[in-house]
Amino acid sequence: MTHPKPITVLSEEEQLLQSTVRRFAAETVAPLVRSMEEAAQYAPGLIQKLAELGLLAIEVPEDFGGSGGSFFDSILAVEALAEVDPSVALIVDIQNTLSVNALLRWGTPSQHQRWLPQLAAGMLCSYALSEASSGSDAFALETRAERTAQGFRLQGRKLWISNAREAGLFLVFANLNPAAGYRGISAFLVPAGTPGLTVGRLEHKLGICASSTCEVLLDDCHIPADALLGEEGKGYRIAIEVLNEGRIGIGAQLLGLAAGAWKHAARYAQQRKQFGRAIADFQSVQFDLAEMATQIEAARLMVYNAARLKDAGLPFVTEAAMTKYFVSQVAECVASRCVEIFGGNGFVRDYPAEKYFRDSKIGKIYEGTSNMQLATIARQLLADPIVI
């Protein structure tokens, strides 16, 4: 907290990326939002279009088919997509801030050569950490890994795994040495279709419905030795460091959600008439919109600053936790007030307000609950007491 804060002004290249993704979201994603929501799945071909735009491997070097961009570029893309549909933004978020990030940092050259081109070309990687007994206590894992003559054997059950239905690769966390506690956890790259790996029941969710959330079953699942990501027993470090960065990605998703809800509310307020006037003419509605916009701008500064810190190689764990905690509050508040500005139409599915509200709720839960973010913030600050 004593280091200088990188600036949050966008460069010309970043502005171009932002405008390109916003145009894609408006022209390609927006017409599909309602049908994807009702079908609870992504539209055919959409993931491939994201890949063609370079959004599934933003930080992957160009030699592997990626865009060769920065972490901040990933954040801009997630934000822009979430303005239109947070479900689609989640594809880009998980792929870049969690899965690709882990593979780039801890993968071997051969793992890079095998998987990065496929991820850039349209394969999704699903991040399989959560279990029934490990929510906020993410490392109370019951999934086990055992060494075999050929490699490893995985046995266990993962829950609430995003994009599991569409994934071609799973980053699975399992305990190779339970006696060592969390220090026994290792990470493994498991291709879809591996015997013993089954994508199970699809969860029917309150929001982000197009994004598949499933259980993943590992029953006598044998994988080769080169499926290990990083060193044995370092899975906890991989998970922690990647999730710290992923929280900035969730902040970007929720920021985009809030901005999208605000834009719909502002437009509708100028169209809806009461007492012979547009409701936007009433001071109470103007103040509502002004306060919402102020909260969104504060959230944007926090998201951008945390991402800049990460790219600059500066400490960012506290800022990432603050970002996710604060922006999740802003998103839920703005989405709720959007529903109210729409009035009765905000409560029905013919209008976009209710979807933003439903989608916002998960922000306080996944990738670390709000209470866990507060615990992280307090722990970090008390370890290095300074004047705020």
Answer for the pair 83, 210: CB distance below 8 angstroms, yes or no: no
pLDDT band at 388 (very low <50, low <70, confident <90, very high): low
- Whether the pLDDT of residue 137 is over 90: the answer is no
The fraction of the chain above a pLDDT of 90, given in percent, is 94
Q: Which residues partner with 174 through β-bridges? A: 186
- Mean pLDDT of all residues in 128-137: 85
Catalytic residue among 59, 79, 319, 367: 367
Please indicate whether residue 367 is annotated as part of the active site: yes
Q: What is the mean pLDDT of the chain?
A: 95
109, pLDDT greater than 80: yes
Q: For 50-86, how does the pLDDT look when each residue is reduced to its tens digit (9 = 90+)?
A: 999 999 999 999 999 999 999 999 999 999 999 999 9
Q: Which residues contact 114 (CB under 8 A, 6 or more apart)?
A: none
DSSP state for residue 69 in the 8-state scheme: -
User: In what helix (H) or strand (E) does residue 167 lie, and over which residues does it extend?
Assistant: strand 167-175
Residue 87 has pLDDT above 80, yes or no: yes
Better pLDDT: 132 or 342: 342
| Residues above pLDDT 70, as percent of the chain | 97
pLDDT computed for residue 14 by the predictor: 97
- Amino acid found at 307: A
Report helix, strand or coil for 348: coil
Domains, the chain:
12-124 (1.10.540.10), 127-233 (2.40.110.10), 236-383 (1.20.140.10)
What backbone torsions phi and psi does residue 166 show, to the nearest 5 degrees?
A: -95, -10
pLDDT at 342 over 90: yes
CA distance 115 to 217: 22
Q: What tens digit of pLDDT does each residue of 167-177 get?
A: 999 999 999 99
- Comparing 249 with 1, which gets the higher pLDDT? 249
Q: Is the dihedral of CA 231, 232, 235, 236 positive or negative?
A: negative
More confident residue, 26 or 387: 26
Q: What pLDDT sits at residue 81? A: 98
